Amino acid sequence: MTNNPFPSGTVLGYPRIGRRRELKRALEAFWAGRTTVEELEATARDLRLATARRLVELGLDAGSGAVPGSFSFYDQVLDVVALLGAVPSRFGRDAGDHARGSRLTLEEYFTLARGSGEDSPLEMTKWFDTNYHYLVPEIGPGTPVRFSDDRVVQEFAEARDAGIVTRPVLVGPVTFLLLSKAADGAAPDFSPLDRLPEVVAAYGELLARLAAAGAPWVQLDEPALVTDGHVPFGEVADAVRSAYGTLTAPAVGSGRPAVLVAAPYGGLQGERGDALALLAGTGVEGVALDLVRGALPAAPLPDLASKLVVAGVIDGHNVWRADLAERLSLLERVSELGAGAVAVGTSTSLLHVPHDVDDETRLDPALAGGLAFADQKVREVAVLARGLAGGRAAVADDLAASVAAVAARRAAAGVAVPAVRERLAALTGADLDRAPYAERAAVQRERLGLPVLPTTTIGSFPQTAEIRAARAAHARGELSDADYAAAMRAEVAHVVALQEELGLDVLVHGEPERNDMVQYFAERLDGFVATQHGWVQSYGSRCVRPPVLWGDVSRPAPMTVEWSEYAASLTAKPVKGMLTGPVTILAWSFVRDDQPLADTAAQVALALRDEVADLEQAGIGVVQVDEPALRELLPLREADRPAYLDWSVRSFRLATAGAATATQVHTHLCYSEFGDVIGAIDGLDADVTSIEAARSRMEVVPELAKAGYDRGVGPGVYDIHSPRVPSVDEVAELVALAAGAIDPRLVWVNPDCGLKTRRYEETTPALRHLVEATRRVREQLAG
Ligand SMILES: Nc1nc2c(c(=O)[nH]1)N[C@@H](CNc1ccc(C(=O)N[C@@H](CCC(=O)N[C@@H](CCC(=O)N[C@@H](CCC(=O)O)C(=O)O)C(=O)O)C(=O)O)cc1)CN2
Ligand SMILES: [Zn+2]
């Protein structure tokens, strides 16, 4: 190959939720039974075509496969489950349907994602180091696997008929199986990778059909290749050779599209092995490299001579406008690698960024000028592609404008605030330490007077339609500040009364006033700005609006005190103040890239430290600092992990170590495989840690005990991600299991996570069962 097939450049994927969250609304209307499946399909088709046309309008070629076909109704990993018909047996799919290779209905597809009745859905977990969640496939020796779904082909044909030749994007077979878990009941030595040949055969069938439909390219995403995971590199390498050897072998079918393997989220050349050399040695026609997170390969690779390299020089994961002159220099160095052709691309799919900065009419123009959301990034790609082909002179004005924008951002007022920097510089090790735990525990026991197995919740109570409507009306100016505050106080009073009635021990105010646990704080801290329309998909139809952390962070005024204080005034029981921790605030924001994350985290931590002090001043004796994203930011490469764990733990301690000995500090972690961070959990030095545990049947508790953890622990006793109400027996069994795995005096009883996405219909009985189950286990322990 000597010609660049994508002279306009390309992007690895594009947001699919819609500029105004059209897909979210269509999905939720369908799930609620308000619309038909035909209406949902029609909305999705309109969205796909509008997206393809927009990408062409922004500069991508319409005829070559430069436009990615990256739509999904729910999740791209679930899409491969559907492609393979790999439905776990508990969903009771008809074997005849599978044998005929018939497509899952959309209803069946959504049942896998959301469960139904007593059927729990597939587990959900974090997609690499992002705030996107995918559904975890369950693959056993007997799980059906065959080509079952031609949706990808239909979507290609639909765009083709509208005049746009797209490049279908799918998760690749190796990553799919590495992200799968072994189905329940599989032998201990079974690995999902054992099913690679059948999975690859199904992809082969898909490729043949895409070729027949006229697709010149297909993109297979293999981000697992940029991580140091639990499967040894040698096994991964064998899988890659086998999968891509088979898929590109001349013998397959009547033809196939050219294959582009994309490796977003990091570099392919790891300490355990070189996955770039590995891919270069296969028959794939192209490799897409993440040159934002990953380094440029140090030496030319002869095997690339016949291949396309898509150089991912535009950051798909953050929102800063690029210095295009500097990016063009990087592209010129990519050209020296000896590849057959170099096309300009993004480092990752644009799934992680909002649609369009131009929608943000309320942003300070100085800041807006430094931002690039998805649409701006497509334009950046197109400019670089013209620069690469035609030389710098061809795009001189664009280069100059980008350089000026980056310089202006760096120099803007508020980016470096001397008072914030001086405070940071004056910190010492003593600022990270509290009194020894034994001393704290004794004083806190005295102060709080809690029973054994204290019960509590993780913070939020249901965000009802009324709460959201009130906030929306307030934002539109239709509800005054005073009326909005009164409505939220009424909600707090209701939540406190409910907890009293249920008999919980440590109460919360319920967080009704928070639109989101990160955005709420960002809106109250200097150095951040929130967006109006900057929605990003988190999972399924759920979205977040990550704030932009652009400057030095400080706290102009207390952020949460009035709410906690009000809740405490309504009850004699302890009320837990509720803050989001520094690592999570960073992880769920778009963060400045001009200083180490550790420094940014420390600034956020200092603001939280002041908030903790103000809560204490107001008489609050228990403060929870949530760090659900602690595991999420864990670097994908082993070598980078110790430094991360060091700064992240320090930032949490900086936020909390100012607390008095008598103040009980809690933290909360969820969405985690905790094995890799057990040491860090201990290092946080919180008095109590609540942690997701129900789906894994408390297995984290013995792990903590084994690691010598000897402070309070609240393993979640029921999964809040499903509407299912757990029975008293079920909860009692889990509480007893936890109390048997660690000193029962350390055990707290709570749900797995906050209740904001649930309804009261489920929440009230579930918590009633939790309290009753705890009462039973207390009796057993006493007797
Ligand atoms: N940032 C973040 N990341 C996280 C989590 C989290 O809580 N926050 N939790 C984990 C799981 N992820 C989640 C992500 C989103 C939601 C979620 O519930 N999102 C809501 C939006 C939450 C929000 O921002 N709400 C705002 C805006 C709500 C809204 O859409 N309002 C309507 C108007 C409503 C009306 O008029 O009635 C509109 O703007 O159109 C508010 O309450 O103020 C949704 O998609 O529906 C839950 C979990 C991990 N990552
Ligand atoms: Zn949580």
Q: At what angle do helices 37-57 and 106-114 cross, to 10 degrees?
A: 90
Bin 85: left if φ > 0, else alpha if -120 < ψ < 50, else beta: left
Predicted pLDDT of residue 423: 97
β-pair type (712-715, 688-691): parallel
How far does the centroid of ligand 2 lie from the alpha carbon of residue 339, in Å? 45
CA distance readout (Å), 574 to 144, 491, 560, 569, 613: 52, 18, 16, 10, 17
**Furthest CA-CA distance within the chain:** 84
Distance of CA 196 to the CA centre of its chain: 27
d(CA 531, CA 715): 35
Nearest residue by C-alpha to atom 25 in ligand 1: 515
Question: Which residues have a Cβ under 8 Å from the Cβ of 563 and sit 6 or more positions away?
Answer: 488, 492, 509, 513
d(CA 456, CA 90): 33
Sign of the alpha-carbon torsion through 527, 530, 536, 537: positive
Helices H / strands E in the chain, number of each: 27, 21
Predicted pLDDT of residue 589: 98
Binding residues: 21-24, 126, 131, 458-460, 511, 542-543, 588, 626, 632, 668, 670, 692, 753
d(CA 127, CA 181): 14
The secondary element (H helix, E strand) that includes residue 667 is strand 664-669
The secondary element (H helix, E strand) that includes residue 728 is helix 728-741
For the Cβ of 518 lying below 6 angstroms from any atom of ligand 1, the answer is: yes
Predicted pLDDT of residue 15: 98
Pick from 479, 538, 631 the residue to mutate for probing ligand 1's pocket: most ligand atoms within 8 Å of its CB. 538
β-pair type (258-263, 286-290): parallel
Nearest residue by C-alpha to atom 43 in ligand 1: 515
CA distance readout (Å), 505 to 238, 304, 305, 428: 54, 63, 67, 37
How far does the centroid of ligand 1 lie from the alpha carbon of residue 234, in Å? 42
How far does the centroid of ligand 2 lie from the alpha carbon of residue 75, in Å? 21
Nearest residue by C-alpha to atom 11 in ligand 1: 538
Is 666 annotated in the active site?
A: no
Q: Residue 407: name the closest of 589, 594, 554 by CA.
A: 594
For the Cβ of 471 lying below 6 angstroms from any atom of ligand 1, the answer is: yes
Predicted pLDDT of residue 675: 83
Indicate which ligand has the atom closest to the C-alpha of 669: 2
For the Cβ of 469 lying below 6 angstroms from any atom of ligand 1, the answer is: yes
Contacts 24+ apart (CB under 8 A), 428-437: 431/654, 431/657, 431/658, 432/650, 432/653, 432/654, 432/657, 433/653, 433/657, 434/656, 434/657, 434/659, 434/661, 434/665, 434/685, 435/661, 437/685, 437/687, 437/710, 437/711
697 contacts 719 by C-beta, under 8 angstroms: no
Place of tokens 């040491």: 679
Place of tokens 């990808």: 152
Q: Count CB-CB contacts under 10 A for residue 369.
A: 17
Pick from 20, 123, 468, 590 the residue to mutate for probing ligand 1's pocket: most ligand atoms within 8 Å of its CB. 468
- What are the tokens at 235? 């096994």
Q: Residue 130: name the closest of 512, 698, 555, 590 by CA.
A: 590
Binding residues for Zn(2+): 668, 670, 692, 753
Strand, helix or coil for residue 96: helix
DSSP letters, 250-287, are: TTSTT---EEEEEETTS-SB-SS-BHHHHHHTSS-SEE
Nearest residue by C-alpha to atom 23 in ligand 1: 515
- Give the chain's domains with CATH numbers: 22-71+121-131+158-411 (3.20.20.210), 453-528+555-782 (3.20.20.210)
The secondary element (H helix, E strand) that includes residue 43 is helix 37-57
Binding residues for 5-methyltetrahydropteroyltri-L-glutamate: 21-24, 126, 131, 542-543, 588, 632
Mean pLDDT by 10 residues, the chain (783 residues): 87 97 98 97 98 98 97 98 95 81 92 86 93 97 95 98 98 98 94 98 97 97 97 97 94 81 97 96 97 93 93 98 98 94 98 98 93 98 97 97 96 96 97 98 98 98 97 97 98 98 98 98 98 97 98 98 98 98 98 97 98 98 97 95 97 98 97 83 97 91 94 96 92 97 97 97 98 98 90
DSSP letters, 344-384, are: EEESS-GGGS-S-GGG-TTS-HHHHTTB--HHHHHHHHHHH
Q: Residue 648: name the closest of 660, 639, 638, 656 by CA.
A: 656
Question: Which residues have a Cβ under 8 Å from the Cβ of 12 and sit 6 or more positions away?
Answer: 68, 70, 169, 219, 221, 262, 264, 288, 310, 312, 316, 345, 346, 347, 348, 349, 350
How far does the centroid of ligand 2 lie from the alpha carbon of residue 580, in Å? 11
For the Cβ of 516 lying below 6 angstroms from any atom of ligand 1, the answer is: yes
For the Cβ of 757 lying below 6 angstroms from any atom of ligand 1, the answer is: yes
d(CA 214, CA 257): 8
For residue 240, the number of C-alpha atoms closer than 13 Å in the C-beta half-sphere is 31
**Exposure string for 723-756, b = 16+ CB within 10 A, e = fewer:** bbbbebebbbbbbbbbbebbebebbbbbbbbbbb
Q: Count CB-CB contacts under 10 A for residue 515.
A: 18
Go through the chain and tell me how many residues it has.
Answer: 783
Predicted pLDDT of residue 252: 54
CA distance readout (Å), 587 to 17, 108, 131, 721: 21, 33, 8, 21
Nearest residue by C-alpha to atom 35 in ligand 1: 469
β-pair type (67-69, 536-539): unpaired
How far does the centroid of ligand 2 lie from the alpha carbon of residue 766, in Å? 17
Q: What is the pTM of this model?
A: 0.97
Which atom of ligand 1 has the smallest separation from the CA of 475? 43
Predicted pLDDT of residue 120: 82
CA distance readout (Å), 83 to 140, 246, 453: 17, 18, 46
Using the 8-state DSSP alphabet, how is residue 678 labeled? H
How far does the centroid of ligand 2 lie from the alpha carbon of residue 132, in Å? 15
For the Cβ of 588 lying below 6 angstroms from any atom of ligand 1, the answer is: yes
369 contacts 412 by C-beta, under 8 angstroms: no
d(CA 286, CA 292): 18
324 contacts 383 by C-beta, under 8 angstroms: yes
Q: Residue 334: name the closest of 378, 304, 374, 293 by CA.
A: 304
Binding residues for L-homocysteine: 458-460, 511, 626
Question: Which residues have a Cβ under 8 Å from the Cβ of 509 and sit 6 or more positions away?
Answer: 492, 495, 496, 563, 564, 566, 567, 575, 578
For residue 486, the number of C-alpha atoms closer than 13 Å in the C-beta half-sphere is 5
Place of tokens 């490729």: 207
Indicate which ligand has the atom closest to the C-alpha of 478: 1
Q: At what angle do helices 481-502 and 465-475 cross, to 10 degrees?
A: 160
Strand, helix or coil for residue 692: coil
716 contacts 730 by C-beta, under 8 angstroms: no
Catalytic residue among 133, 355, 721, 769: 721
Indicate which ligand has the atom closest to the C-alpha of 17: 1
315 contacts 381 by C-beta, under 8 angstroms: no
Question: Which residues have a Cβ under 8 Å from the Cβ of 60 and sit 6 or more positions away?
Answer: 6, 8, 9, 10, 11, 66, 67, 378, 381, 382
Predicted pLDDT of residue 254: 65
d(CA 411, CA 136): 44
Place of tokens 């729910």: 74
Using the 8-state DSSP alphabet, how is residue 117 labeled? T
Q: At what angle do helices 481-502 and 561-569 cross, to 10 degrees?
A: 50
d(CA 93, CA 666): 44
d(CA 514, CA 508): 13
For the Cβ of 23 lying below 6 angstroms from any atom of ligand 1, the answer is: no
Strand, helix or coil for residue 576: strand
**Exposure string for 208-222, b = 16+ CB within 10 A, e = fewer:** bbbbebebbbbbbbb
Which residue blocks in 503-559 are alpha helix, DSSP H? 519-522
Indicate which ligand has the atom closest to the C-alpha of 693: 2
Q: Residue 656: name the closest of 601, 607, 612 by CA.
A: 612
DSSP letters, 139-166, are: E-TTS--S----HHHHHHHHHHHTT--E
d(CA 456, CA 463): 18
How far does the centroid of ligand 2 lie from the alpha carbon of residue 689, in Å? 11
